[in-house]
Amino acid sequence: MIKLIIRQPGAADSAVQLAPGAYLIGSSRECHIRLERPEISGRHAQFIVREQELTVMDLGSSNGTEIKNGPSLYPHEPYDIPNGTRLKLGRVEIEVQIPRPAPPTPSPSSSVPATPEHLTPTKEAVPVLKISGVDAKMRPILQEIKKHAHKELLARLNLKKLALSGISHQELAEQAATMIREILSQLTIQLPDPKLLEVLERELIQEAVGLGPLEYLIERDDITEIMVNGPDRVYVERDGVLYRTDTAFADSNQVLSAIERIVSPLGRRIDESSPMVDARLPDGSRVNAIIPPLSLVGPTITIRKFSRKALQADDLVRFGSISPEIVQFLAVCVAVRKNILISGGTGSGKTTLLNILSGFLPNRERIVTIEDAAELQLQQEHLVRLESRPPNVEGRGAITIRDLVRNALRMRPDRIVVGECRGGEALDMLQAMNTGHDGSLTTIHANSPRDALARLETLVLMAGFDLPLRAIREQVASAIHIVVQISRERDGSRKLVNVSEITKMEGDVITMQDLFVFRQTGWDAENRIVGVFEPTGAIPTFMEEIQRAKLNLDISIFRRKNGGGTHA
């Protein structure tokens, strides 16, 4: 925290400690630091506090702001103030004390050896992605203006009442925009760059009737993930790299408003009694929100964006995520009705791959998809989409994935596609695969094909039946034919790292064989992973079945090559 020593004529010195934020100094009641003196303007200056940094901007005061024994500050321009500086506002003197970070305490050389330099942890700064074009020094000032403008807008225009009255979104936006322009025209704080006023107006309109800064980010096709950690910290993922953006919400209430605008059309709610929600945007992007008291940083939003154009298998080949031979093999597996389990970590691309494999399903078959939040983009004609439902305000009426899987069995499905197995529905899914619904697809969170089977066993036990472990493993070995493992690599790229076949049971152990693996060979000039997709030499046990189905699959794709496999 930064400490200010305030000295006024005829009064004892006073001390103020400021946490990071924006503070108004002046004689009016709205100021955070109030100096009731005739030479102090109502809104005299603004202090912007960051970690061990202080920026001061004079707000066009009548008597100015100056550095003692130094220059006067130009109005409406931010100045970085070093430690020990004495500012003069009329006859008031403010001494700035910025604490220095405490040096690390050296440990005795006799007790613990010094950490080698190459093992010392380093804090690498998160790169900033320019979205709004607002300088970091000016963002706290804009935030302060936005807070006042929002209060004034709510006092003049009841947006919720207008929305409930049936007014169209366009009319609501026009009324809000007119009122916001009127409020901004009455600003007492002048911005140094006229373009900032345009940015401020656009952000205020977006927050009043839309999703605030999220509007910027959702429009960009190169952004794949949006993460809001409270009002002031908005992060994105682009090309597998995490960035902090220069956008921000006015305050936590505006983040809550954005969440409500996302979940309300879906019949879902978020409040203190139900502080977590899963939802989706109109384009199918997945949304998760969690608010205080569970979130200690303020309302948090995570959006996994969907590409406006559905990715195809050729796109994954072009990205180096998969090889043409593996695509060909998986397409044949779908055609011969093999049950496929896609395994991977969070954000590794499981749903993307599930979408692509679903594209190989025949158009003439009846397909039932089951999801928590509908995001699969199947194009088949005979398609039934089911989505789970959370409990209502009274805590009743919840429809789980397991309920939908059991109901789907009565809907005469040829194929069942479950977005993700994460609970007791795993047992019903395995039974469906073992009772005439071959060719089904699902995903699971796991780090390897063997871990995926272990996790599947755990999920089956969550169904509440006391089944012997061997019986569960027999169900798994009989139901699942192919496990596809995908991984998000250190460079942010997604790679299919294993295609494994479940062969049989030997004693109490499920046996598997790898058909294809990804082997990393190094890094390229742009610091991206380079490797090859290699066949292991193992032949699928159902090769004869493929030949009987008259499907064109060259057995040579499984043979080991001296020069390696397909490069990625």
Does residue 278 sit in the same domain as residue 326?
no
CA distance linking residue 453 with residue 480, whole number of Å: 9
Strands 494-506 and 367-371 turn out to be unpaired
Mean pLDDT for the stretch of residues 173-186: 79
Instruction: Determine contact, residues 97/83, Cβ cutoff 8 Å.
Output: yes
- Return the higher-pLDDT residue of 163 and 180: 180
The β-bridge relationship of strands 53-58 and 45-50 is: antiparallel
Exposure of 212 by Cβ count < 10 A (0-12 exposed, 13-18 middle, 19+ buried)? Answer: buried
Q: Average of pLDDT values for 196-223?
A: 83
pLDDT tens figures, 467-526: 888 999 999 999 999 999 999 888 888 999 999 999 988 888 999 999 999 998 888 888
Place of tokens 């969690």: 290
Domain boundary among 78, 97, 116: 97
Buried b (16+ CB within 10 A) or exposed e, 90-116: bebbbbbebeeeeeeeeeeeeeeeeee
Domains in the chain: how many in total?
A: 3
Q: Are residues 338 and 293 in the same domain?
A: no
Say what the pLDDT of residue 163 is.
64
| pLDDT band of 284, cuts 50, 70, 90 | confident
Same domain, 53 and 153: no
Better pLDDT: 385 or 143: 385
- Nearest 5°: the CA angle 368, 371, 372 is 155
Same domain flag for 179 and 283: yes
Strand pairing partners for 4?
16, 96
> Hey, is 56 helix, strand or coil?
strand
State the Cα–Cα distance between residues 157 and 489, nearest whole angstrom. Answer: 49
Domain membership of residue 565 (yes or no) is: no
**Beta-strand relationship, 340-344 and 482-488:** parallel
Three-state DSSP class for residue 431: helix
Q: Is residue 32 part of a domain?
A: yes
566: in domain: no
Domain that holds residue 324: 313-513
Domain shared by 294 and 388, yes or no: no
**Same domain, residue pair 240 and 322:** no
Dist CA 541 CA 457 (whole Å) = 24
Residue 327's DSSP bridge partners are none
562 lies in a domain? Answer: no
Q: Are residues 465 and 370 located together in one domain of the fold?
A: yes
Residue 426 lies in a domain: yes
CATH of the domain at 39: 2.60.200.20
Q: How confident is the model at residue 110 (pLDDT cuts 50, 70, 90)?
A: very low
Closest CA to 201 of 187, 214, 222, 221: 187
Contacts of residue 14, defined as CB under 8 A and 6 or more positions apart, other chains included, come to: 5, 6
Q: Is 533 helix (H, G, I), strand (E, B) or coil?
A: strand
Looking at the structure, tell me whether residues 480 and 391 fall in a common domain. yes
Under DSSP, is residue 405 helix (H, G, I), strand (E, B) or coil?
A: helix
In a domain, residue 445? The reply is yes
pLDDT at 323 over 90: yes
| pLDDT attached to residue 112 | 52
256 and 142 in a common domain = yes
Q: Residue 429, SS3?
A: helix
Distance separating alpha carbons of residues 367 and 560, to the nearest angstrom? 36
Structure tokens at 555: 């057995």
Residue 470 lies in a domain: yes
Is 120 contained in some domain?
Answer: no
Q: What is the mean pLDDT of residues 344-363?
A: 89
What CATH number should be reported for the domain holding residue 238? 3.30.450.90
Indicate the residue among 56, 81, 97 that finishes a domain: 97
Cis peptide before 293 (omega within 30 of 0): yes
Whether 345 and 391 map to the same domain: the answer is yes
Average pLDDT value for the chain: 85
Residues shown for the chain: 568
pLDDT at residue 264 tops 60: yes
Give me the helices (H) in 359-409, please. 401-408
Residue that is last in its domain, among 252, 276, 304? 304
User: 475 with 413, same domain?
Assistant: yes
Helices (H), 58-168: 139-156, 159-164
- Report whether 459 contacts 422 (CB < 8 A): yes
Sign of CA dihedral 58, 61, 66, 68: negative
Q: Are residues 191 and 291 in the same domain?
A: yes
Q: pLDDT tens digits for 499-516?
A: 999 998 888 899 999 999
Convert 285-295 to b/e letters by CB count within 10 Å (16 or more is b).
Answer: bbbebebeeeb
Q: What is the CATH number of the domain that holds 340?
A: 3.40.50.300
